[in-house]
């Protein structure tokens, strides 16, 4: 079997199938009340519970319990379901036939008397149900004979039919004949009861009957409820039955009629909250196992702790039927077709809305933009009020509608799924949401409602297999082999799927131990030459994610996972073939928030030494992207300033390198000037702007190069197209303006 079965919502076949701990306590108690405890008088017991609570299951377990315990060996149980009959006559006849059939299984001498009496009662009451008076009123004899024959034939009593017709030809004998039949049954039951026996009649599904059928069954119960040594157990939804009776006062009934006919009301215990949570967890675990996925901790009902997610689901699952419907819904979402590639916690929560709040579910699926776009506005009261209004529309269906009784729980489910939509930056972690395939991600929101995965993206299985290949390799192989595994994992991916895998990679490494992450980081560094300059951002990001994890304090620890190792890895990455500007980003202060200035000296020094080599290399200034030179120069100046006297490169050294590169190749000047240029939005770079006059621009020029007189003769050597192709014509004009005037004092 490729998937678990759907729950058919059937009562347990055996008492051992009980999941709600009723068999150990409630069923023995019910058996004692209905069979062992009563005296010779008839008794009517009501077993009350809402739809889906398991009333039929209770009756099934009670029947099995009494049949397997010595104390109840003399009990005869007749189970009857009036819901199967739409005709009152058929209902009456079947009721008595069911009891007679159970009596027929007993070999005791009193059984024949009981069966004859039951058939007589059945015939008379069936005829009465046809609307023909049998208690002294005149009747149409032909219609009477027709009804009597139908009743007797249904009861399998042709001879009794003839006797009945003859007797009822005189209507005065009708009531007497009915009374004699009842007395015969009573005598037989007394004989049966004196020998230690008791008749238990189980009547189910009263709450499903129409008004007319319900009143018919109550009239029937009224004729037999006083039979000796007989208990009638009525299973029903009390509220629904009372509502029907409340509107039946004209027929002689009323809301309080149940109190007149039922001597002992018993309410079925509601399932224990923790027990229900445990059952939900178990069924979800079984479901997820068919996706080769373990049960997420958020859905694990632990003995002493319930996570918010499983608690919110359990609050809505009140009955066994609720549980069956809910689990079936989750299974149809996840297992009915190809894997829709969802976050399993979110799937479990959204199906809670679908089953128990279908109107809210429908409004949620129509509110993708509101629920998935990050709310990055300020805490403006008007903006928050507007978003609160939209959230209330989703929950209530309209602003004029009254608050729902369980609105707090509904809000909590929505907050678990999407974050609080009324709070600033409620859904800011879009990258994390996408990597986890969360419903709050715009990329995956639709998957939860169209039952299919997003096309053109890696499935969770593909990501899992690729990551396991890398992590397994890291357990036993050297860095170069790990690097090969990393390169192979990304080699066939396009830009979109590569970025997706990188994001998922960043969260999956947090589940590994620091030693393994260190090996993966070295493997990523070793893979840099394989990716080449066109795809080097992939290994760069893998190294960065690894360093971030290793540099982040672990839970229950005050410091990072491996501070010394992290510094060594950073130095190793800086000295790798990774481009100099990407290497600089590895020293981002967000990654090294825990590190002191002294601890950052080693990687910063390593980077400056490499920057010195880069600036000595004339090919550095001929890169396709002029901004790369700008970034290199500015980062070098910043690192020199940060290290101060400990820097291996001084400001004068940098000036010497830049002047030398310009003198060697004047075409380098435009790109170097970008490092001090301003770039107003949608405009070309400038040296002179409203916020910086010529004198200030000149001072920055001196800080950058240390001298400027050599520039004038070089300007004529720089072709005009060098300035124009880099959109630096304004920088050119500003530079000529600066050097054409008397230099300000410095």
- C-alpha–C-alpha distance, residues 347 and 326, integer Å: 11
Q: What percent of the chain has pLDDT over 90?
A: 46
Q: Positive or negative, the Cα torsion across 556, 561, 564, 566? A: negative
Per the CB < 8 A criterion, the answer to whether 601 and 577 are in contact is no
pLDDT tens-digit readout, 32-77: 999 998 999 999 999 999 999 999 999 999 999 999 999 898 999 9
Per the model's pLDDT, the better-predicted residue between 559 and 362 turns out to be: 362
State residue 383's pLDDT score.
Answer: 83
pLDDT tens-digit readout, 5-40: 888 777 777 788 888 989 989 999 999 999 998 999
> Edge-to-edge strand order for the sheet containing 75-80?
75-80, 198-203, 230-236, 43-48, 264-267
- Closest alpha carbon to 631 in 706, 595, 579: 579
Least confident segment among 376-390, 442-456, 496-510: 376-390
Per the CB < 8 A criterion, the answer to whether 64 and 31 are in contact is no
Rounding to the nearest 10 degrees, give the CA dihedral for residues 571, 576, 580, 585: -50
Average pLDDT value for the chain: 85
State residue 250's pLDDT score.
Answer: 66
Give SS3 for 171. helix
Per the CB < 8 A criterion, the answer to whether 269 and 50 are in contact is no
Per the model's pLDDT, the better-predicted residue between 227 and 86 turns out to be: 227
Q: What is the DSSP letter of 675?
A: G
Characterize the bridge pairing of strands 264-267 and 198-203.
unpaired
State residue 415's pLDDT score.
Answer: 93
State residue 136's pLDDT score.
Answer: 38
State residue 350's pLDDT score.
Answer: 98
- C-alpha–C-alpha distance, residues 35 and 71, integer Å: 10
Query: Which of the four pLDDT bands, split at 50, 70 and 90, describes residue 555?
Result: very low
State residue 708's pLDDT score.
Answer: 79
- C-alpha–C-alpha distance, residues 652 and 706, integer Å: 8
The pair of structure tokens assigned to 14 is 């055996």
Per the CB < 8 A criterion, the answer to whether 188 and 110 are in contact is yes
Q: Where are the alpha helices (DSSP H) in 509-625?
A: 514-531, 537-551, 563-574, 580-585, 601-616
State residue 150's pLDDT score.
Answer: 54
State residue 531's pLDDT score.
Answer: 95
Query: Which of the four pLDDT bands, split at 50, 70 and 90, describes residue 79?
Result: very high
Q: What is the set of domains in the chain, with CATH numbers?
A: 39-267 (3.40.50), 273-450 (no CATH), 460-661 (no CATH)
- C-alpha–C-alpha distance, residues 506 and 544, integer Å: 9
Per the model's pLDDT, the better-predicted residue between 400 and 563 turns out to be: 400
Residue 103 has pLDDT above 50, yes or no: yes
Q: Where are the alpha helices (DSSP H) in 290-380?
A: 308-316, 320-335, 344-356, 358-365, 368-372
- Closest alpha carbon to 46 in 221, 168, 186: 221
State residue 439's pLDDT score.
Answer: 94
State residue 160's pLDDT score.
Answer: 52
- Average pLDDT over every residue of 433-461: 88
Residue 537 to residues 19, 117, 399, 504, Cα–Cα distance (Å): 54, 93, 50, 16
Sequence-distant (6+) residues with CB within 8 A of 189 are 114, 199, 227, 228, 229, 230
pLDDT tens-digit readout, 682-709: 788 999 988 888 889 899 999 999 887 8
Residue 144 has pLDDT above 50, yes or no: no
Q: What are phi and psi of 303, to 5 degrees?
A: -60, -40
In which region does residue 52 sit, left (phi positive, over 0), alpha (psi from -120 to 50) or beta (all else)? left
State residue 426's pLDDT score.
Answer: 62
Q: Positive or negative, the Cα torsion across 591, 595, 601, 606? A: negative
Sequence-distant (6+) residues with CB within 8 A of 312 are 349, 352, 409, 412, 413, 416
Least confident segment among 161-165, 227-231, 294-298: 161-165
The pair of structure tokens assigned to 169 is 């030809």
State residue 485's pLDDT score.
Answer: 95
Sequence-distant (6+) residues with CB within 8 A of 106 are 76, 192
State residue 743's pLDDT score.
Answer: 52
State residue 548's pLDDT score.
Answer: 87
Query: Which of the four pLDDT bands, split at 50, 70 and 90, describes residue 130?
Result: low
pLDDT tens-digit readout, 648-695: 999 999 999 999 999 988 988 988 998 999 877 678 899 998 888 888
Per the CB < 8 A criterion, the answer to whether 35 and 199 are in contact is no
Residue 211 has pLDDT above 60, yes or no: yes
Count the helices and strands in the chain (H runs, E runs): 35, 5
- Average pLDDT over every residue of 481-490: 95
State residue 174's pLDDT score.
Answer: 59
Least confident segment among 319-328, 433-442, 525-534, 571-580: 433-442
């Amino acid at each position: 079997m490729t998937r678990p079965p759907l729950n058919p919502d059937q009562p347990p076949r055996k008492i051992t199938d009980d999941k709600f701990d009723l068999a150990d306590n409630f069923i023995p108690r019910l058996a004692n009340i209905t069979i062992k405890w009563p005296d010779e008088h008839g008794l009517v017991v009501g077993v009350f519970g809402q739809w889906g609570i398991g009333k039929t299951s209770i009756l099934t377990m009670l029947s099995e319990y009494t049949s397997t315990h010595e104390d109840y060996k003399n009990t005869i149980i007749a189970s009857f379901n009036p819901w199967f009959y739409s005709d009152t006559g058929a209902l009456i006849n079947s009721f008595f036939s069911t009891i007679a059939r159970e009596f027929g299984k007993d070999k005791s001498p009193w059984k024949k008397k009981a069966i004859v009496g039951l058939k007589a009662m059945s015939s008379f009451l069936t005829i009465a149900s046809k609307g023909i008076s049998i208690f002294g009123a005149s009747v149409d004899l032909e219609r009477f004979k027709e009804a009597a024959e139908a009743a007797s034939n249904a009861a399998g009593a042709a001879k009794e039919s003839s006797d009945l017709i003859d007797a009822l030809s005189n209507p005065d004998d009708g009531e007497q004949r009915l009374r004699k039949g009842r007395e015969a049954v009573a005598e037989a039951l007394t004989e049966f009861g004196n020998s230690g026996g008791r008749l238990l009649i189980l009547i189910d599904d009263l709450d499903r009957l129409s008004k007319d059928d319900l009143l018919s069954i109550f009239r029937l119960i009224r004729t037999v409820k006083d039979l000796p040594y007989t208990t009638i157990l009525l299973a029903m939804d009390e509220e629904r039955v009372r509502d029907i009776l409340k509107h039946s006062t004209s027929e002689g009934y009323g809301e309080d009629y149940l109190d007149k006919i039922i001597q002992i009301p018993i309410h079925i215990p509601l399932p224990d909250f923790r027990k229900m949570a445990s059952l939900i967890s178990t069924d979800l675990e079984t479901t997820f196992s068919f996706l080769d996925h373990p049960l997420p901790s958020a859905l694990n009902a632990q003995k002493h702790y319930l996570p918010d997610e499983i608690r919110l689901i359990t609050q809505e699952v009140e009955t066994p039927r609720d549980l069956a419907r809910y689990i079936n819904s989750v299974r149809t979402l996840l297992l009915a077709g190809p894997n829709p590639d969802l976050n399993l916690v979110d799937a479990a929560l959204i199906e809670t809305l679908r089953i128990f709040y279908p109107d809210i579910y429908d409004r949620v699926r129509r509110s993708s933009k509101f629920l998935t776009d990050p709310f990055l506005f300020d805490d403006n009261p008007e903006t928050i009020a507007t978003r609160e209004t939209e959230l209330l529309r989703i929950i209530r269906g309209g602003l004029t509608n009254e608050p729902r009784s369980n609105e707090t729980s509904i809000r909590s489910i929505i907050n678990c799924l999407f974050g609080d939509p009324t709070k600033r930056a409620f859904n800011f972690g879009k990258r994390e949401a996408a990597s986890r395939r969360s419903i709050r991600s715009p990329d995956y929101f639709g998957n939860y409602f169209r039952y299919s995965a997003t096309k053109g993206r890696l499935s969770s299985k593909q990501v899992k297999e690729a990551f396991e290949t890398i992590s397994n390799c890291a357990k036993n192989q050297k860095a170069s082999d790990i690097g090969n595994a990393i390169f192979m994992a990304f080699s066939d991916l396009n830009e979109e799927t590569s970025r997706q895998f990188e994001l998922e990679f960043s969260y999956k490494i947090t589940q590994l131990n620091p030693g393994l992450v260190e090996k993966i980081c070295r493997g990523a560094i070793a893979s840099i030459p394989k990716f080449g300059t066109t795809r080097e951002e992939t290994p760069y990001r893998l190294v960065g994610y690894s360093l971030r994890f290793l540099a982040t304090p672990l839970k229950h620890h005050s410091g990072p996972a491996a501070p010394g190792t992290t510094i060594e890895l950073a130095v190793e990455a800086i000295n790798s073939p990774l481009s100099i500007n990407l290497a600089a980003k590895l020293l981002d202060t967000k990654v090294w928030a825990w590190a002191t200035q002294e601890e950052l000296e080693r990687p910063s020094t390593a980077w400056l030494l490499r920057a010195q080599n880069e600036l000595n290399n004339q090919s550095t200034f001929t890169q396709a992207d002029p901004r790369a030179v700008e970034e290199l120069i500015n980062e070098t100046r910043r690192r020199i300033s940060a290290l101060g006297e400990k820097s291996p490169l001084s400001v004068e050294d940098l000036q010497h390198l830049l002047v030398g590169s310009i003198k060697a190749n004047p075409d380098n000047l435009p790109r170097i000037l970008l490092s001090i240029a301003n770039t107003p939005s949608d405009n070309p770079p400038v040296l002179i702007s409203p916020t910086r006059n010529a004198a200030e621009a000149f001072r920055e020029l001196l800080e950058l190069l240390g001298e400027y007189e050599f520039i004038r003769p070089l300007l004529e050597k720089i072709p005009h197209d060098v300035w124009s192709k880099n959109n630096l014509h304004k920088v050119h004009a500003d530079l000529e303006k600066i050097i054409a005037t008397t230099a300000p004092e410095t």
